[in-house]
Amino acid sequence: MSISDLPALNATLNGTSAVLLLAARQRIKHGAIRQHRTLMIAAFATSIVFLISYLVYHFNVGVLHFGGTGIIRPMYFTLLTTHTILAAAVPVLATITLLRGLRGRYALHRRIARWTYPIWLYVSATGVVIYFLLYQIFPTVG
């Protein structure tokens, strides 16, 4: 695997994380605590691998420039801005939420999970959209 393969890997990891989050939510709604816990640990691990891969890629490649023009350009940057701001919060929120759940502090876990879940899911899903916009539909320039 080369550095140029990492964006596709990162999109796959983001998509996997989103699917794991959706499955974990479904399992807890049905009272399947053990399955929920397993899926959430898997989503957390997947997100950690994503973050490492993302940092390695951008350390080696640097900043990329979006190749889209017209109305898609402000739409892309709006999506990227919301994604980036919320992505900065995910590691902290996910860690706190996971630790509270693993420690059996369920009331506190549920309280923060109400915020963590939609933010984490949004970041994971928009990461895939950003990949397709930046690398597949409107390849970078310069």
Q: The dihedral of CA 13, 19, 23, 29: what is its sign?
A: positive
The closest alpha carbon to 87, from 119, 131, 112, belongs to 119
Instruction: Tell me the whole-structure pTM to 2 decimals.
Output: 0.95
Whether residue 125 is contained in a domain is answered as yes
Whether residue 49 is contained in a domain is answered as yes
Instruction: Indicate the Cα dihedral angle 67, 72, 73, 76, nearest 10°.
Output: -100
* pLDDT score for 63: 87
Q: How far apart are CA 29 and CA 2, in angstroms?
A: 41
Q: How far apart are CA 87 and CA 35, in angstroms?
A: 25
Whether residue 142 is contained in a domain is answered as no
Q: How far apart are CA 12 and CA 14, in angstroms?
A: 5
State the total domains in the chain: 1
- Band the pLDDT of 30: cuts 50, 70, 90: very high
- How far is C-alpha 46 from the geometric centre of its chain's CA atoms? 9
Question: Tens digits of per-residue pLDDT, 32-62?
Answer: 999 999 999 999 999 999 999 999 999 999 9
CATH number (domain holding residue 32): 1.20.120.80
Q: Which two tokens stand for residue 75?
A: 């739409």
The closest alpha carbon to 31, from 106, 111, 90, belongs to 106
Supply the range of the domain harboring residue 28: 3-137
